[in-house]
Amino acid sequence: MTTEDRISLRGLRVRGFHGVFDFERREGQDFVIDAELELDLGPAAASDEVTDTVHYGELAESLAAVVAGEPVNLIETLAQRLADVCLADHRVRAATVTVHKPQAPIPLQFTDVAVIIRREKSS
């Protein structure tokens, strides 16, 4: 059964030390994470029990631990690691993760730099 149900977590701001430049790894910067999980929310709606869904508070903590954890060069790699966390829950069939790097080292004025990936479990 295909569902259109989603859990969305937006604007999770976490300090991390990712980047290709030494100063990025030394000084760190804030990253902003958006995650959207695709799963069937019918069981949770029927039972009214948090154990029948993805607990978004626990999800936020798990994603924050990855961002604050082991540094990587590319936000593409960070996005993949975050998607892996989202897909670790057996109920999640697909996840879209956006990693925003608002303080990216670009010598021009800009609003946002982001990488967006969507991953799904193979059937």
The CA-based angle 90-37-99, given to 5 degrees, is: 120
**Catalytic hit among 34, 101, 103, 114:** 101
Contacts of 61 (CB under 8 A, 6+ apart): none
Q: Judging by DSSP bridges, how do beta strands 6-16 and 29-38 pair with one another?
A: antiparallel
Catalytic, 101? Answer yes
Catalytic residues, by residue number, are 101
